[in-house]
Structure 1
Amino acid sequence: MVQRPQEGNVTWVNFGQRKKVSSAEEARLVTGERVDSKQVLKTRAGETHEQPEFSDPAQLLYNAAMRATDQGRFTRGRRYAEGGNVLDLRVESGRFVSTVAGSQNEPFNVMVLLPYREGPEITEALDMITRQPSLLDLARRGRFDRGLLDILFASSDERFRYRCDCPDLSDVCKHAVAVSLKAAELVDSDPSMVFRLRNLDVNTLDQQLRETAGQRAKDSAAEGSEFFWAGHELPALPQPKVAPMIEDSDLDLLHKAMQTISFTNIDQLRAVSDLEDLYDALTRN
Structure 2
Amino acid sequence: MSRWYTESRPIHTDRGLKARSKRGDFAENWWTKRWIEALDHLLDPGRLRRGKRYARQGQVLSIEERSGGVTAAVQGSRSKAYRVDIGLEPIGEDEWERVIDALSGRALFSARLLAGEMPADIEEAFSGAGVSLFPARRGELRTSCTCPDPAEVCKHTAAVHYILAERFDEDPFLLFTLRGRTAEAVISALRARRGEEGEERTDVEPESPSLEAEMGRFWEAGAALDSINVKIKPPAVELSMLRRLGQPGFVGEDLGRLLAPSYEAISDAALEVALGESESTEEEEV
Q: TM-score, normalised by structure 2?
A: 0.54
Hey, what does 2:238 align to over in structure 1? 239
Shift of 1:214: 4.5
Hey, what does 1:173 align to over in structure 2? 154
1:102 aligns with 2:76: yes
Question: Using the alignment, how far apart are the partners of 1:157 and 1:54 within structure 2?
Answer: 24
In the superposition, relative to structure 1, how do residues 64 and 209 fare at CA in structure 2: closer, same or farther (>3 Å)? closer
Contact 1:125 1:152 in 2 (8 A): no
Amino acid aligned to 1:91: E
Greater than 6 Å deviation, 4+ residue runs = none
Shift of 1:170: 0.7
1:143 aligns with 2:142: no
Hey, what does 1:182 align to over in structure 2? 163
Hey, what does 2:32 align to over in structure 1? 58
1:154 aligns with 2:153: no
Contact 1:57 1:153 in 2 (8 A): no
1:92 aligns with 2:103: no
Shift of 1:156: 4.2
Unaligned runs of 5+ in 2: 1-22, 204-234, 240-258, 264-286
Question: Using the alignment, how far apart are the partners of 1:59 and 1:77 within structure 2?
Answer: 16
Question: Using the alignment, how far apart are the partners of 1:187 and 1:74 within structure 2?
Answer: 18
Shift of 1:218: 3.8
In the superposition, relative to structure 1, how do residues 61 and 113 fare at CA in structure 2: closer, same or farther (>3 Å)? farther
Contact 1:90 1:96 in 2 (8 A): yes
Contact 2:71 2:84 in 1 (8 A): yes
Unaligned runs of 5+ in 1: 1-48, 223-235, 246-285
Shift of 1:96: 2.0
Contact 2:86 2:141 in 1 (8 A): yes
What do residues 111-170 of structure 1 show as CA deviations (whole Å, max 9, x unaligned)?
222234221111111212232243244343233412245546325456522211211111
Shift of 1:51: 4.5
Percent of counterpart pairs with the same letter?
A: 23
Return the index of the structure with the highest Cα Rg: 1
Question: Using the alignment, how far apart are the partners of 2:69 and 2:160 within structure 1?
Answer: 11
Mapping of 1:118-137 within 5 angstroms?
Answer: 118-137=92-111
In the superposition, relative to structure 1, how do residues 137 and 80 fare at CA in structure 2: closer, same or farther (>3 Å)? farther
Shift of 1:243: 2.7
Q: Alignment RMSD, CA only?
A: 3.2
Q: Which region of structure 1 is more displaced relative to structure 2, 149-158 or 84-93?
A: 149-158
Amino acid aligned to 2:238: Q
In the superposition, relative to structure 1, how do residues 149 and 191 fare at CA in structure 2: closer, same or farther (>3 Å)? farther
2:85 pairs with one of 111, 131, 137:
111
Query: Per the alignment, in what secondary structure is the counterpart of residue 63 of structure 2?
Result: strand
Amino acid aligned to 1:90: E
Question: Using the alignment, how far apart are the partners of 1:213 and 1:105 within structure 2?
Answer: 53
Contact 1:115 1:154 in 2 (8 A): no
Question: Using the alignment, how far apart are the partners of 1:165 and 1:85 within structure 2?
Answer: 15
In the superposition, relative to structure 1, how do residues 209 and 120 fare at CA in structure 2: closer, same or farther (>3 Å)? closer
In the superposition, relative to structure 1, how do residues 164 and 61 fare at CA in structure 2: closer, same or farther (>3 Å)? farther
In the superposition, relative to structure 1, how do residues 200 and 116 fare at CA in structure 2: closer, same or farther (>3 Å)? closer
Query: Per the alignment, in what secondary structure is the counterpart of residue 191 of structure 1?
Result: coil
Query: Per the alignment, in what secondary structure is the counterpart of residue 243 of structure 1?
Result: helix
1:67 aligns with 2:41: yes
Query: Per the alignment, in what secondary structure is the counterpart of residue 261 of structure 2?
Result: coil
Question: Using the alignment, how far apart are the partners of 1:50 and 1:149 within structure 2?
Answer: 30
In the superposition, relative to structure 1, how do residues 212 and 174 fare at CA in structure 2: closer, same or farther (>3 Å)? closer
Hey, what does 1:216 align to over in structure 2? 197
What do residues 83-132 of structure 1 show as CA deviations (whole Å, max 9, x unaligned)?
11111111111112211110111111112222342211111112122322
Shift of 1:207: 4.7
In the superposition, relative to structure 1, how do residues 50 and 214 fare at CA in structure 2: closer, same or farther (>3 Å)? closer
Query: Per the alignment, in what secondary structure is the counterpart of residue 90 of structure 1?
Result: strand
Question: Using the alignment, how far apart are the partners of 1:71 and 1:137 within structure 2?
Answer: 38
Q: Considering Cα pairs closer than 8 Å and 6+ residues apart, tell me whether 1 or 2 has the greater RCO.
A: 2
